[in-house]
Chains A and B, each alone.
Chain A
Amino acid sequence: MATHQRIDVSKTGDVSVVRFQDAKILDEAAIQELGTELFALVEFDNRKAILLDFDGVEFLSSAALGKLITFDRKVKTAKGRLKMCGIAPGILEVFQVTKLNKVFDIRSDLAEGLAAF
């Protein structure tokens, strides 16, 4: 079982629910670790249904966006499904400005996110 520093992973049915340990995702070293831990969910754990729950996340930088994009690609390449939920209004605006809301499957909250699988 992998040890995670940046994320917390639990299972609800077949869905792996991933929460973030940091309210502000901007420290570059932390973002590198976050990427490594997220990618391992697909590349080592072979998880196919992943819900990123952003509840409690207040801030993220464009470097963190980069990791999310790469993660999304890895999940799609592995024929898995990735959804996101619980995104704060400011971060949602970041996704809208960068049009990443077209790339990511975004749901309002945990219940809707789980129901979407």
Chain B
Amino acid sequence: MAEQPPAAAWQQSIDLPSERGASRLVTDELLAQLGTHGWPSDEIFAIHLAAEEALVNAVVHGNRLDPAKRVRVECHVSPDVVRLEVTDEGEGFDPETVPDCTLEERLESPSGRGVMLMRSFMTRIEYNAKGNSVLLEKRRGEPPASEQSAGDQPG
């Protein structure tokens, strides 16, 4: 029996309004495409989680729900790689200054876990210099960014 040819990569640019619940405009289609491209359910969970955190960060913390500002999302889904680039129109931030939420004194803080979850569930996460754009990448079967040695990380 002939093997099924791999589904062509899905690529899309999506422009989001800066309002609560806007992430659904990306994640609904993203989840459908991950299924179409044969991603396993545990990796779909990981990608969904990271995407949700990046999108909410951009809308709420980046654009501060300003209706005049948009969030630009570039999506790429193939059977082996998922890439999402989320850019807001905010002032940006330095992800290195986000305190470690697993420190004893921070454990019970109700916020500040989004960046860590993205690092723990994606293969690669990179911010631009301004800190208003994040690139998330998941390669099927590869360990998350948080488990790679510091020497593997750029910068």
Contact = CB atoms under 8 A, between A and B. Distances in A.
B82 to A, nearest CB: 16
Interface stretch (A43-51, A59-67, A109-117): A59-67
Contacts of A67: 110
Given A28-B21, A98-B102, A99-B102, A62 B117 contact: yes
Interface string B131-148: 000000000000000100
B117 A98 contact: yes
Contacts of B46: 90
B56 to A, nearest CB: 7
A100 interface: yes
A59 B47 CA distance: 12
A70 interface: yes
Nearest to A58: B45
A103 B107 contact: yes
B20 A59 contact: no
A102 B110 contact: no
A61 B53 CA distance: 7
A69 B109 contact: yes
Interface residues of B, number: 27
Interface in B104-153: 107-111, 113-114, 116-117, 120-121, 146
**B interface secondary structure, majority:** helix
B117 A97 contact: yes
A57 B42 CA distance: 14
Interface residues of A, number: 25
Q: Could you say which of A28, A58, A61 has the most chain B C-beta atoms within 10 Å of its C-beta?
A: A61
A12 to B, nearest CB: 28
B61 to A, nearest CB: 12
18 contacts: A28-B21, A28-B56, A62-B53, A62-B111, A62-B114, A63-B56, A65-B113, A72-B108, A73-B108, A89-B42, A90-B45, A97-B116, A97-B120, A98-B101, A98-B102, A98-B113, A99-B107, A103-B108
Of all A-B residue pairs in the complex, the 7 with the closest CB atoms, nearest first, are: A66-B110, A90-B45, A62-B113, A99-B102, A97-B120, A28-B20, A69-B110
Interface of A: 26-29, 58-59, 61-63, 65-67, 69-70, 72-73, 89-90, 94, 97-100, 102-103
